[in-house]
Amino acid sequence: MPAYTRTRPGFRALLVDYRADDYDTNAIRDRLEDHYRKLVRKRDGWVEPPDDQLWIDDLSEDDIPFRVVNKIRRRVKRYQERRKNLTGVDHLKNEDRDALKSVQKGVSASYIDDTGADALAAELHDRYPWMSAATEHAWHQLRRSARAGTPAAVGPLLLDGPPGIGKSAWSRSLAAFLRAPHGLIAAAASNAGFAVSGTERGWSTAQAGRPVQLIIQHGHAGPVVVVDEIDKSGVAHSSSGTRMSISHTLLGLLEPVSASRWDCPYFRVPWDLSAVSWILTSNSLNLVPEPLRTRCTIVQCQGLTLGHMRLVADRLANEAELSDPARDAALEAVERLHGTLQRPIDLRDVRRVIDRAQALETRPVLH
C-alpha cells in the first residue's frame, strides 16, 4: 500500500487533558495515600532499596491516622469537583468517558511520501480513468502533505457529475489506499446535519457526529467522510422547533482553522478534525449552496463511455471469477444495454449484469 500510519500523540492535548482516573475515587485516594507514605518515609530518613531487592512497606493503609484519612477523602471530593468543572465531561455516561479514554494517549494518522502519492494516483487512475480530474487533484494534495510532513488528507472536494459514475466508490478506494476509515453520510436524510456534527444532550437520539465516531472507533485522526448528494440536502427540525441544516454544519468543518479545534456538541470538548478528508458529491452543481461551493474545490466528473463500461465489466468479472464464456456473455450484454437504454448507462447497470452472470453460472444443474 502506498500510505502508512503512525501514532499522532498531539491529538490528546485537544481533549482538555481529560483523564479517566479523575472520575475513579479509589484511584485518586490511592495516589494521595501513596504520596502521604512517601512524605512520612522522607521525614523518617527512609531510603528506598535498589530495584533488584524486595522490601516490605513499613507503613500499611491501617497505619495512616484517621484524621489523615478524612483529610484525604475531603481532598478527593474537591479534586473531582474541580476536574469536572475544567473538563466539562461530568455530564457523560461512563461508556462515553471510556470512549474519550481510548484516544487519550493519541491516535494514528496516515502519512505518505512522494513515491507513495504517485503510486496511489496511478492505482486510482487505473480503476477510475473517467475520474481523472479528481485523481489529479488528490495527487497534488497528497504530494503537498508528503513534502510538509503532515497527515495525508484530501479535500474539501466537491465532485459534481451524473449519478452512478462511481463518485462514492472512488472515495472508498481513496480511503482504502490511505489506510484510513471511511464514512458515508446521505445528505438527503432528514437528520444529515446531526450526523455530521452530532447532537447535544437532551435529544432522544443524542450521539456524537460521524467524524468523531470514526476517530474513536478506529483510533485514526484522518477518516475520509463522504457527504453524498449534497444538492439534495434538507433541514432537520427538533421537537422544540430548532432547525439544523447540513450545509450550515459543514461550513465550520471545512475551514482548516475552525476544524482544528472544533467543539463537539455531544462530548463538549474540542476535537482536532483538521486531518479529516471531506468529499462532497452532487448531481446538480447549481443546487449546491453557494457557501459550500466557495469552500470546496469543484471537480467536474464526466459520464462513462462504452470503453469505460467494458473496463469496469472486465474487472468485476475477474473479481467474480467468471469463466471465459460467462465473461464474454456479460461484456456482450453490457454493450447491448448501452445501446438500448433511454438514459446513460452507469456502474449500477454494469454490476447488475455481472451479478446476473454470476448467478446463472453458479445455479445448480437440474437433472
Question: Read out DSSP for 320-367?
Answer: TT--HHHHHHHHHHHHHHHHH-SS---HHHHHHHHHHHHHHHHSPPP-
> What is each CA distance from 212 to 68, 183, 195, 196, in whole angstroms?
43, 11, 10, 9
β-strand pairing of 277-282 with 270-271: unpaired
Kindly give the pairing relationship between strand 235-237 and strand 277-282: unpaired
Residues 336, 344: contact at Cβ < 8 Å? no
Q: Is the omega angle on the peptide bond into residue 270 within 30 degrees of 0, that is, cis?
A: no
User: What DSSP state is assigned to residue 50?
Assistant: P
Q: Give the C-alpha separation, 31 to 205, whole Å.
A: 38
Q: What is the pLDDT along the chain (367 residues), one digit of tens a residue?
A: 456 656 555 554 355 455 656 667 888 888 888 888 888 887 777 655 555 444 445 445 457 888 888 888 888 888 877 766 665 566 677 777 777 777 877 788 889 999 999 999 999 998 898 999 999 999 999 999 999 988 899 979 999 988 888 899 999 999 999 999 999 998 887 677 788 887 776 555 678 889 999 998 998 989 999 999 998 886 555 545 555 678 888 888 998 888 888 888 888 778 888 899 999 999 999 999 888 999 999 999 888 888 888 888 888 888 888 888 888 888 888 778 777 776 777 778 888 888 888 887 777 655 5
The H-or-E segment that residue 278 falls in is strand 277-282
CA angle 261, 265, 268 (to 5 degrees): 70
> Which helix (H) or strand (E) element contains residue 6?
strand 4-8
| Three cell numbers written together for 307 | 470503453
Nearest to 145 by CA among 256, 226, 252: 256
The runs of H, that is alpha helices, within 58-166 are 66-87, 94-102, 114-127, 132-148
- Which whole-number Å values give the CA distances from 17 to 105, 198, 264, 288, 308, in the listed order? 10, 22, 16, 39, 52
| Spatial separation of the C-alpha atoms in residues 104 and 10, rounded to whole Å | 10
139 close to 40: Cβ distance less than 8 angstroms: no
Our separate counts of H helices and E strands in the chain read: 14, 11
- Among 275, 346, 301, CA closest to 135: 301
Inter-CA distances, 348 with 309, 310, 355, Å:
11, 13, 10
Q: What is the pLDDT of residue 327?
A: 82
Of 267, 170, 186, 269, the closest CA to residue 224 belongs to: 170
